Amino acid sequence: MATAFHNLSEYDFEAGPNVSDMRFAIVVSEWNSEITFRLKDGAYNTLLKAGVKPENITIDCVPGSFELIYGAKRMAESIRPNAVIGLGCVIRGETPHFDYVCSGVTQGFAQINSDGDIPCIFGLLTTDTMQQSIDRAGGKFGNKGNEAAITAIKMAEFACKFN
């Protein structure tokens, strides 16, 4: 995704692939919805800006970030989009729950991508504070939902080379 030195939010849509006939799925965690729905809006708007038709974007929600694994896998299997984008936000608390959820979702997305033939994009914010999440969901560090959508476009194009 992005760093201070490379920001996918500044993607050149003119140089990108033709995505007008591609289909994308977005699965969003309802937990921390004030953040995750901003990520969803960023991803959706970026796909539209790239040329994806609204009718070729499927969006659905799951209760929490851990459930993104199942949601992404089921969307990939059932609607067969060119890529699935998983969006969630886990904010560190006072218990080890943060570590278990973040690790589980990371491993789950790695497994889906290893086993499957449809790219599933890991768009999970893992922050220490709500402010850090806000900064990455349309704040001073851009919108990581935008960047997840750009990654999905790039991976969909990559996958098309091998089909």
Residues 6+ apart with CB under 8 A from 160: 82
Side-chain-facing half-sphere of 124: CA atoms under 13 Å: 27
Kindly name the residue from 33, 48, 80, 97 that is annotated as catalytic: 97
CB atoms within 10 A of CB 115: 8
CB atoms within 10 A of CB 71: 22
Let me know if 6 is a catalytic residue: no
CA R_g for the chain = 15
- Phi then psi for residue 94, to 5 deg, are -100, 5
Residues designated as active site: 97
